[in-house]
Structure 1
Amino acid sequence: MSDNEGRKDLRMPDDDEVFAVVVDMLGANRVRVRCMDGVERTARIPGKMQKRIWIREDDVVLVEPWDWQDEKADITWRYDKQEADQLREEGHIQE
């Protein structure tokens, strides 16, 4: 048995995406996120995610910062708890 048996292949960020942790729920499909590049942004939950995926504080998400307004972003992916713990263990996310 390898020590890697519980590891799943997780979706990693594309070139224009960053890991982020949800800090605050703002309402109206918006959340405040702290991105791993050191910037706090207002992120938008896109319509295709709104009813299917529930996003809560302290969730780990992937965001795509807007290229014309750096303080805003769109959420592209949400990790579940096991995946988030794995990302923290592997050092992708610093609290």
Structure 2
Amino acid sequence: MPKNKGKGGKNRKRGKNEADDEKRELVFKEDGQEYAQVLRMLGNGRCEAMCIDGTKRLCHIRGKMHKKVWIAAGDIILVGLRDYQDDKADVILKFMPDEARLLKAYGELPEGTKLNELIGGGLDDEEDGDVNDYIDFEDEDIDKI
């Protein structure tokens, strides 16, 4: 049998995710950057995002974040705009949920932005108002069943 010459298996390469506990400084957008909300993940390190300026862009996740920072639909991200392609952008940073709430409180994100929700379906049932997803049956209808 060959000797093990490495320093460990795939779990060592993965590393520990200890950076979540630390508070980091809130990063605001600069020139050439924009806030966006992820609409859907496309695979291959790409996602489709709706930028705050109203443009839907195809975003590329940078290599430093790839397989280290997990991005899902509904997340608030900071993208770097391209001078030569307006319909494409690069993901620079993913905001944690508490950071996204702070951005909204500071007025960086518009008031209509829904945080921590999927864009398509929406997780909040209260936004429908009086519309219910169930059917009311009368006593007579139940007896027939």
Q: Normalising TM by the smaller chain, what interval?
A: 0.7 to 0.9
% same residue: 36
What CA RMSD, in Å, does the superposition of the two structures yield over aligned residues?
A: 1.3
Unpaired runs of 5+ residues, structure 2, are: 1-23, 114-145
Picking from 44, 48, 66, the partner of 2:64 is: 48
The residue aligned with 1:85 is 101
Note the 1:6-21 alignment, pairs <5 A. Answer: 9-21=25-37
Higher relative contact order (CA 8 A, sep 6+): 1
Q: Which runs of 4+ in 1 moved over 2 A?
A: none
What's the secondary structure of 1:49's corresponding residue?
A: coil
Please tell me whether Structure 1 or Structure 2 has the larger radius of gyration of its CA atoms.
Answer: 2
Amino acid at match of 2:54: G
The residue aligned with 2:89 is 73
Unpaired runs of 5+ residues, structure 1, are: 1-7
Per the normalisation by structure 1, the TM-score is: 0.86
What's the secondary structure of 1:85's corresponding residue?
A: helix
Q: Number of residue pairs matched?
A: 88
Q: Which has the higher strand share?
A: 1
